[in-house]
Structure 1
């Protein structure tokens, strides 16, 4: 209840309403006339400063004796429309400028070739002067430019600071990976053996499996609740590569390391994304992935700890994923699915890849739609009457149209309820896609607050009448010393080169955002 004070009974005199403490949609107010007071229905919702002048129409309503004693039902509050925002406005200026510089170089026919040559030299050099970890000046330059654009940090404090900043921008979390890689020589690659006995085995455990396990365990500990950790088996070296290539179980020491990593991830509830790799070892990775999914994805239906990665550009992916879904349905575990377009176009045999980009796009969108609906479709086919298992989904895509399609489907009535879905892009790339997700999440949260629906926001589609689907936006980011990250940075540079149209689109988006900020600063636009 609130009080209103009439300064005079004459309709010519103003009536002031005290609305201090006024709750939205109070059903009645009190009008004071000198020492007396009268109860009147409030036919309008009052939103005002502590004291406001009541209009003549409102005054007539408030002082109309015929309305005394009547308490009409209150009209519903119409929520104000959510504020629109420029997606890239969530980025700090430093990120916009770094992104603009990176994409400008990557889309330049003049600047890109020498830049790639220099990065290739730095990534594979044995000269101390060209090693960023041993050359302070080189490290300072790289860490403030390319490293800052794509990587999280060199130590725990820097990594946590980067993750916190991404979450302040509005990202749900990160997909965190350890950048250090085991690089085999050409002769080692050609002459892969089991390496599980004698001095060679000890060397593999000491120099390859041990560092990989320690780095991955540290990565799991760095991740926070809601984050993911990416795990690349080939980083464990020769024993891993030999076993994967020949579809053998993990060797003894490697199995112990994987078990320890998975146990820690399950204990901390940090899902592991087993990365896809070249076709030569992918079948072995699939075998290991299913083995660990059976073990760790059984206890909490609908929540996966272990995810496999499926590349939509491979013609065989729908049938492979379909068989894995059937296995999960038959054995009763949740299948963790990370869906990407594909990352080994330059090394996988061309005939096993879709002939056109349009075919890859259709495969990706069709698989994503089936997973979100939890229904077989034209692309992802199952046996007639076969059940579709519970799935947890991570969509990795830099394609804006695919992301929008997935979001629209997720927010529709066709989406399967209680299915985990995260959407991610590489840190430093496709920010126009990532920031649209962040902006959409902010708008949905704002709509939730303004509509004042019960139940709060939810990340689970179909959770109830009051739930609002809020997009879960992630950035894939690696950590490690500047030198350890050079090979990762080189791959990002080549990826930008190979996706020229997308890189130019990102560059143009950054120019538009920079122009928008200038206009806002000058007060001539929004």
Structure 2
């Protein structure tokens, strides 16, 4: 169907509810890795993630939820303390396997209670594996957070200082039901504006002082969204700058499997003068029912506006049907 590849996610994760002050590990045994040097939760997470890597082909992507490794890892993320060596070793093993396979890793954004620790680990892994202008790992930046613009600027500076390529995945955000409301933009329009500002700034290599008074670091961009307007605008900017010989960064696009197919197919139709379509991926999540509960809950919330998208999807499917019928005539 023209998709560049797939994104596979092992669903196991821990979600921290700011309202109750408690973390809920979906499909995770209630134990702490601090009790012993070997943690069954970490090993189960490693095995599930490695199984996912084994399903990937060259060019595919692994989306990984770090909190799926259990309470010991989550406590270290939340408290800013040293991560269990067993977990760090597993992260390096998984990163190397993906690099050897020619696949990519998307480190998912998670509950803000854990996110700063996840960012810290992600930057350490990127410094090790994102070398020679190539990307193996991407961090995920949630545009609905008021802090994201500052966070991304700090990470761009780190990439510039330490000479590695920053992998940037941008999403709007999916933890509004559990994260503190004060951390999130006041309106949806504010979030839309932030998303577009980040995407356009990276594509134009003009982000704060980067690209003006200081060099823009090596970076690659993945825009994960179901918002057609944002993605089409980003693609147009990338094409315009490429044709004009202006600086930009490589960009890919992604949507969830089974959602917003009209956006995905619409992007595939935006071919350049050489007939090359944008790189579009579809993301599929797998796991047992308990492991998938947090994911399914977020998707249910996100799909509350599904009725409003029905007409667009119907039109897109009808157009695709006629295209395929025309091909076989």
The answer, yes or no, to whether TM exceeds 0.5 is yes
Tell me the distance in 2 between the aligned counterparts of 1:330 and 1:518. Answer: 51
Question: Could you say which residue in structure 2 is the equivalent of 1:248?
Answer: 81
Question: Could you say which residue in structure 2 is the equivalent of 1:363?
Answer: 194
Tell me the distance in 1 between the aligned counterparts of 2:229 and 2:321. Answer: 28
Note closer, same or farther for the CA distance 1:184–1:520 as it changes in structure 2 (3 Å cut).
closer
Note closer, same or farther for the CA distance 1:416–1:251 as it changes in structure 2 (3 Å cut).
farther
Note the C-alpha offset of 1:239.
1.2
Determine which structure has more spread, i.e. the larger CA radius of gyration. 1
SS in 2 for 1:217: helix
Q: 2:116 aligns with which of 283, 288, 297?
A: 283
Note the C-alpha offset of 1:329.
0.8
Note closer, same or farther for the CA distance 1:481–1:273 as it changes in structure 2 (3 Å cut).
same
Note closer, same or farther for the CA distance 1:516–1:343 as it changes in structure 2 (3 Å cut).
closer
Note closer, same or farther for the CA distance 1:353–1:488 as it changes in structure 2 (3 Å cut).
closer
Note the C-alpha offset of 1:516.
6.3
* 1:178 aligned onto 2:10: yes
Question: Could you say which residue in structure 2 is the equivalent of 1:411?
Answer: 239
Question: Could you say which residue in structure 1 is the equivalent of 2:256?
Answer: 426
SS in 2 for 1:294: helix
Tell me the distance in 2 between the aligned counterparts of 1:352 and 1:262. Answer: 31
Note closer, same or farther for the CA distance 1:319–1:517 as it changes in structure 2 (3 Å cut).
closer
TM-score w.r.t. the length of structure 2 is: 0.86
Q: 1:437 aligns with which of 264, 267, 289?
A: 267
Question: Could you say which residue in structure 1 is the equivalent of 2:149?
Answer: 318
Tell me the distance in 2 between the aligned counterparts of 1:361 and 1:264. Answer: 36
Note closer, same or farther for the CA distance 1:484–1:285 as it changes in structure 2 (3 Å cut).
closer
Aligned length: 316
1:426-472 per-position Cα deviation (integer Å, ceiling 9, x unaligned) = 1111111111012224xx4xx536xxxxxxx5xxxxxxxxxxxx311
* 1:265 aligned onto 2:93: no
Q: 2:137 aligns with which of 289, 306, 311?
A: 306
Question: Could you say which residue in structure 2 is the equivalent of 1:402?
Answer: 230
SS in 1 for 2:284: strand
Note the C-alpha offset of 1:238.
0.7
Note the C-alpha offset of 1:334.
0.4
Question: Could you say which residue in structure 2 is the equivalent of 1:496?
Answer: 303
In structure 1, runs of 5+ residues without a counterpart are 1-168, 450-456, 458-469
Q: Deviation above 3 Å: which 4+ runs of structure 1? A: 180-190, 193-199, 380-384, 414-418, 480-487, 510-521
Tell me the distance in 1 between the aligned counterparts of 2:171 and 2:79. Answer: 25
Tell me the distance in 2 between the aligned counterparts of 1:180 and 1:209. Answer: 11
1:381-422 per-position Cα deviation (integer Å, ceiling 9, x unaligned) = 559612110101110111111011101101103675573211
Tell me the distance in 1 between the aligned counterparts of 2:248 and 2:319. Answer: 39
Note the C-alpha offset of 1:182.
6.0
* 1:448 aligned onto 2:274: yes
Note the C-alpha offset of 1:515.
6.2
CA contact (8 A) 1:296 1:305 kept: yes
Note the C-alpha offset of 1:352.
1.6
SS in 1 for 2:128: helix
Note the C-alpha offset of 1:511.
3.3
In structure 2, runs of 5+ residues without a counterpart are 25-29
Tell me the distance in 2 between the aligned counterparts of 1:478 and 1:515. Answer: 27
**Cα RMSD (Å):** 3.0
CA contact (8 A) 1:194 1:243 kept: no
Question: Could you say which residue in structure 1 is the equivalent of 2:281?
Answer: 474
